[in-house]
């Protein structure tokens, strides 16, 4: 299974970089995992809603350019569907059973995800009603995908 995370913005915090590195190492036993970073679109202050949507869609186009056509897209959205870890694990397993071999998770930046990205998304995943910073979100996602693989394989993992 190929899994990629397309994420807006850089990881500046060292402790998060180290956490991400650790989970990428752990995940390498289960799947091919790629992180694709997109530079965030600069939005001048005082933009109207319409102008802001144009800026976000420009960022969205750069995100979508990194998504292969056949990829199953899971966008991370606060207002998406909340799943338990077991349900996320089952989602990945069911996709595999149904012949999907490429999944793209998309994490937005400070502007959030644009309409063109959410329209392309096949599943909108929420981690709670809280807003997480994009850097932490990337680490949390990798941990949950790793947890998901451990569940799929029936391997013990601390609760
Ligand atoms: C700092 S947040 C963006 C906040 C932005 N104002 C918004 O409303 O989307 C950066 C990204 O992290 C992800 N994110 C943050 N909290 C999340 C949550 N609870 N569930 C799912 N994704 C989340 C989303 O992809 C979001 O675009």
Known binder of ligand: residue 129?
Answer: yes
Q: 């809280």: which residue's tokens?
A: 130
Known binder of ligand: residue 104?
Answer: no
Query: For residue 14, what pLDDT is reported?
Result: 97
For residue 138, name the pLDDT band (cuts at 50, 70, 90).
Answer: very high
- Structurally, how many domains does the chain consist of? 1
Each residue of 101-115: b (16+ CB within 10 Å) or e? ebbbbbbbbebebbe
CATH number of the domain at 20, please: 3.40.1280.10
Ligand 1 test: best mutation among 37, 80, 88, 112, most atoms within 8 Å of CB? 112
Query: For residue 145, what pLDDT is reported?
Result: 98
Instruction: State the maximum Cα–Cα separation within the chain, in Å, rounded to a whole number.
Output: 52
For residue 159, being part of any structural domain is answered with no
For residue 157, being part of any structural domain is answered with no
Query: Phi/psi zone of residue 125: left (φ > 0), alpha (ψ -120 to 50 degrees), beta?
Result: beta
For residue 81, being part of any structural domain is answered with yes
158, pLDDT greater than 80: no
Query: Phi/psi zone of residue 99: left (φ > 0), alpha (ψ -120 to 50 degrees), beta?
Result: left
Q: Which residues have C-beta atoms less than 6 Å from ligand 1?
A: 76-78, 107-110, 112-113, 126-128, 130-134, 137
Residues ≥6 apart with Cβ < 8 Å to 73: 67, 103, 104, 106, 120, 121, 122, 123
Ligand 1: residue whose CA is nearest its atom 15: 132
For residue 43, being part of any structural domain is answered with yes
8-34 pLDDT per residue, tens? 999 999 999 999 999 999 999 999 999
Ligand 1: residue whose CA is nearest its atom 9: 112
Cα separation, 47 vs 61, whole angstroms:
19
Q: 């989602």: which residue's tokens?
A: 91
- Distance in Å, CA 120 to ligand 1 centroid: 17
For residue 147, being part of any structural domain is answered with yes
Q: What value does the mean pLDDT take over residues 34-41?
A: 97
Q: What is the ipTM of this complex?
A: 0.97
Domain span at 120: 2-152
Q: 């202050």: which residue's tokens?
A: 45
For residue 157, name the pLDDT band (cuts at 50, 70, 90).
Answer: confident
């Amino acid at each position: 299974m190929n899994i990629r995370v397309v994420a807006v913005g850089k990881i500046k915090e060292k402790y998060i970089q180290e956490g991400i590195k650790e989970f990428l190492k752990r995940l390498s036993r289960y799947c091919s995992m790629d992180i694709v970073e997109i530079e965030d679109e600069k939005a001048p202050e005082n933009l109207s809603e319409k102008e802001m949507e144009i800026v976000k869609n420009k960022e969205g186009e750069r995100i979508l350019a990194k998504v292969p056509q056949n990829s199953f897209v899971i966008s991370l959205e606060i207002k998406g569907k909340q799943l338990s870890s077991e349900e996320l694990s089952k989602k990945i397993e069911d996709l595999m059973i149904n012949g999907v071999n490429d999944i793209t998770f998309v994490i937005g930046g400070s502007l959030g995800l644009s309409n063109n990205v959410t329209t392309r998304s096949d599943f909108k995943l929420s981690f709670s009603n809280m807003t997480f910073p994009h850097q932490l979100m990337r680490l949390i996602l990798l941990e949950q995908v790793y947890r998901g693989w451990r569940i799929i394989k029936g391997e013990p993992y601390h609760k």
